[in-house]
Amino acid sequence: MNRKDYIRNYQRKWMQQRRQAWIDSQGGCCAKCGSTENLEVDHIDPKLKTMNPRDLWSRTGTIREKELENCQVLCNNCHKIKSGLERSLSVGPIVHGTNKGYNRKCRCSACKTAHSKSTSHYKKHPVGYIDRSFG
């Protein structure tokens, strides 16, 4: 192993140990369901988030601790549920019969039809096609 790989591996292990130590200090389980599998760091209030949790572990203690004051441990499943609810509240309800509704995972017939209409142009024309009929 060359020096560059050695340093990269050392730093990766060091940051994983910092992350695991923080998770252990929070009880070592999901704050919602108690699971100990696939644990993640979640910002309790996303509006107060100043950095991605993955970037926290290499920061100084002061910066890291300030950011972690707004964090909790969640399992992957609870984190997805919480984040999905936050997204749906921030963007409002799904408007059925629109491509945006389809993109937000609605598969009702109205949203499917809207998605089909919005993508039909791409199905008719090859990649790189320039539609010159607009203006």
Instruction: Evaluate if residue 26 carries a pLDDT over 90.
Output: yes
Q: What is the DSSP string of 34-70?
A: ---SSEEEEESSGGG--S-HHHHTTS-HHHHHHHHTT
pLDDT classification of 19: cutoffs 50, 70, 90? very high
What is the rounded distance in angstroms from the CA atom of residue 85 to the CA atom of residue 90?
9
d(CA 82, CA 43): 10
Confidence of residue 99 (pLDDT cuts 50, 70, 90): confident
Residue 133 banded pLDDT, cuts 50, 70, 90: low
Distance CA 42, CA 83 (A): 9
pLDDT tens digits, one per residue of 41-92: 999 998 898 988 888 899 999 999 999 999 999 999 999 999 888 877 766 7
Q: What is the pLDDT of residue 75?
A: 96
Q: Is the pLDDT of residue 31 over 90?
A: yes
Please provide the distance, in angstroms rounded to a whole number, between the alpha carbons at the two ends of the chain: 60
Q: Cα separation of 129 and 109, whole Å? A: 29
pLDDT category at 33 given cuts 50, 70, 90 is very high
Report yes or no: 51 and 69 within 8 Å, Cβ to Cβ: no
Q: How many residues does the chain have?
A: 135
For residue 129, pLDDT over 70 is answered with no
* C-alpha dist (Å) from residue 127 to 114, 124, 130, 135: 21, 10, 9, 21
Does pLDDT of 106 surpass 80?
yes
